Amino acid sequence: MRKRMIAGWGLAAMALSGCMPAEMPGQRDGRALFLSYCAECHGATAEGNGPLARSLETAPKNLTLISVRHGNRFPRAEILSTIDGYARSDSAGPGMPEFGELLEGDLVPLDTGDGRMTPTPRKLVALLEYLESIQAGR
Protein backbone atom coordinates (compact mmCIF):
# COMPACT_ATOMS: atom_id res chain seq x y z
CA MET A 1 0.00 0.00 0.00
CA ARG A 2 2.76 2.44 0.96
CA LYS A 3 4.70 1.63 -2.24
CA ARG A 4 1.60 2.35 -4.31
CA MET A 5 1.09 5.67 -2.58
CA ILE A 6 4.73 6.67 -3.12
CA ALA A 7 4.54 5.59 -6.76
CA GLY A 8 1.34 7.61 -7.22
CA TRP A 9 2.93 10.73 -5.74
CA GLY A 10 5.97 10.18 -7.94
CA LEU A 11 3.82 10.03 -11.09
CA ALA A 12 1.91 13.14 -10.05
CA ALA A 13 5.15 15.01 -9.39
CA MET A 14 6.53 14.00 -12.79
CA ALA A 15 3.33 15.14 -14.52
CA LEU A 16 3.49 18.55 -12.85
CA SER A 17 7.26 19.01 -12.78
CA GLY A 18 7.47 20.74 -16.14
CA CYS A 19 4.87 23.34 -15.18
CA MET A 20 6.51 26.49 -13.97
CA PRO A 21 4.62 29.72 -13.20
CA ALA A 22 6.33 31.47 -16.12
CA GLU A 23 4.79 28.86 -18.40
CA MET A 24 1.27 29.31 -17.11
CA PRO A 25 -1.26 30.74 -19.57
CA GLY A 26 -2.08 34.40 -19.23
CA GLN A 27 -5.33 36.33 -19.39
CA ARG A 28 -4.49 37.59 -22.89
CA ASP A 29 -4.19 33.98 -24.05
CA GLY A 30 -7.64 33.23 -22.62
CA ARG A 31 -9.22 36.28 -24.22
CA ALA A 32 -7.78 35.36 -27.62
CA LEU A 33 -9.15 31.82 -27.26
CA PHE A 34 -12.52 33.20 -26.18
CA LEU A 35 -12.69 35.45 -29.24
CA SER A 36 -11.74 32.53 -31.50
CA TYR A 37 -14.03 29.87 -30.04
CA CYS A 38 -16.86 31.57 -28.16
CA ALA A 39 -17.56 35.11 -29.36
CA GLU A 40 -19.63 34.08 -32.40
CA CYS A 41 -22.38 32.94 -30.03
CA HIS A 42 -21.63 34.58 -26.68
CA GLY A 43 -20.39 37.90 -28.11
CA ALA A 44 -17.10 39.73 -27.70
CA THR A 45 -18.26 40.91 -24.26
CA ALA A 46 -19.47 37.38 -23.30
CA GLU A 47 -22.99 38.66 -22.61
CA GLY A 48 -24.73 36.19 -24.95
CA ASN A 49 -25.12 38.62 -27.82
CA GLY A 50 -22.80 37.28 -30.53
CA PRO A 51 -23.57 37.51 -34.24
CA LEU A 52 -24.98 33.97 -34.29
CA ALA A 53 -27.02 34.31 -31.07
CA ARG A 54 -30.32 35.19 -32.75
CA SER A 55 -30.12 32.24 -35.12
CA LEU A 56 -29.77 29.70 -32.30
CA GLU A 57 -32.73 27.79 -30.92
CA THR A 58 -31.56 28.45 -27.36
CA ALA A 59 -29.99 31.79 -26.56
CA PRO A 60 -26.35 31.64 -25.43
CA LYS A 61 -25.84 32.37 -21.75
CA ASN A 62 -24.33 35.56 -20.44
CA LEU A 63 -20.93 34.26 -19.33
CA THR A 64 -20.21 37.30 -17.17
CA LEU A 65 -22.91 36.07 -14.76
CA ILE A 66 -21.62 32.54 -14.11
CA SER A 67 -20.65 33.39 -10.55
CA VAL A 68 -23.93 35.19 -9.90
CA ARG A 69 -25.87 32.10 -11.07
CA HIS A 70 -23.79 29.97 -8.65
CA GLY A 71 -24.16 31.93 -5.43
CA ASN A 72 -21.19 34.25 -6.06
CA ARG A 73 -18.71 31.44 -6.58
CA PHE A 74 -17.08 30.42 -9.85
CA PRO A 75 -17.55 26.65 -10.30
CA ARG A 76 -14.26 25.82 -12.04
CA ALA A 77 -14.82 22.07 -12.42
CA GLU A 78 -18.34 22.53 -13.82
CA ILE A 79 -17.22 25.17 -16.31
CA LEU A 80 -14.28 23.04 -17.45
CA SER A 81 -16.65 20.14 -18.04
CA THR A 82 -18.97 22.33 -20.07
CA ILE A 83 -16.18 23.72 -22.24
CA ASP A 84 -14.41 20.42 -22.84
CA GLY A 85 -17.61 18.55 -23.65
CA TYR A 86 -17.62 16.10 -20.74
CA ALA A 87 -20.83 17.60 -19.35
CA ARG A 88 -23.12 17.57 -22.34
CA SER A 89 -26.60 18.28 -21.06
CA ASP A 90 -29.39 20.79 -21.47
CA SER A 91 -27.57 23.07 -19.03
CA ALA A 92 -24.72 23.42 -21.51
CA GLY A 93 -27.31 24.30 -24.09
CA PRO A 94 -28.34 22.40 -27.16
CA GLY A 95 -25.88 23.01 -29.93
CA MET A 96 -23.00 23.91 -27.61
CA PRO A 97 -20.07 22.63 -29.68
CA GLU A 98 -17.25 20.49 -28.37
CA PHE A 99 -13.86 22.15 -28.51
CA GLY A 100 -11.46 19.24 -28.93
CA GLU A 101 -8.64 21.57 -29.97
CA LEU A 102 -8.67 23.08 -26.48
CA LEU A 103 -7.72 19.66 -25.14
CA GLU A 104 -4.57 19.47 -27.26
CA GLY A 105 -1.11 20.62 -26.25
CA ASP A 106 0.82 20.61 -23.02
CA LEU A 107 -0.60 20.35 -19.53
CA VAL A 108 -0.39 22.79 -16.62
CA PRO A 109 -1.41 22.24 -12.99
CA LEU A 110 -4.86 23.49 -12.02
CA ASP A 111 -6.82 23.38 -8.78
CA THR A 112 -10.50 23.16 -9.72
CA GLY A 113 -11.57 23.71 -6.15
CA ASP A 114 -10.81 20.38 -4.50
CA GLY A 115 -7.32 21.39 -3.31
CA ARG A 116 -5.59 19.05 -5.75
CA MET A 117 -3.42 20.14 -8.63
CA THR A 118 -4.63 18.35 -11.74
CA PRO A 119 -2.75 18.35 -15.07
CA THR A 120 -5.07 20.23 -17.42
CA PRO A 121 -4.61 21.35 -21.04
CA ARG A 122 -3.03 24.82 -21.12
CA LYS A 123 -5.60 26.28 -23.54
CA LEU A 124 -8.48 25.06 -21.41
CA VAL A 125 -6.93 26.66 -18.31
CA ALA A 126 -6.38 29.94 -20.17
CA LEU A 127 -10.02 30.08 -21.29
CA LEU A 128 -11.29 29.11 -17.84
CA GLU A 129 -9.20 31.80 -16.14
CA TYR A 130 -10.36 34.40 -18.64
CA LEU A 131 -14.00 33.54 -17.95
CA GLU A 132 -13.32 33.73 -14.22
CA SER A 133 -11.73 37.18 -14.68
CA ILE A 134 -14.78 38.70 -16.42
CA GLN A 135 -17.36 37.84 -13.78
CA ALA A 136 -19.71 40.67 -12.79
CA GLY A 137 -18.85 42.23 -9.47
CA ARG A 138 -15.15 41.30 -9.57
Q: What would the pLDDT profile of 34-75 be if each residue is shown by its tens digit? A: 999 999 999 999 999 999 999 998 899 999 999 999 999 999
DSSP state of 68: H
pTM over cut 0.95: no
More confident position, 28 or 24: 28
Is position 138 within any domain?
A: no
pLDDT at 101: 80
Helix (H) or strand (E) holding 28: helix 27-37
Q: Is residue 108 part of a domain?
A: yes
**Residue 58, C-beta contacts closer than 8 angstroms, at least 6 positions apart:** 93, 94, 95
Q: How does pLDDT run across 85-113, given as a tens digit for each residue?
A: 765 554 545 567 777 788 888 999 999 99
User: What's the structural domain count of the chain?
Assistant: 1
Range of the domain at 109: 2-133
- How many CB atoms are located within 10 Å of the residue 36 CB? 14
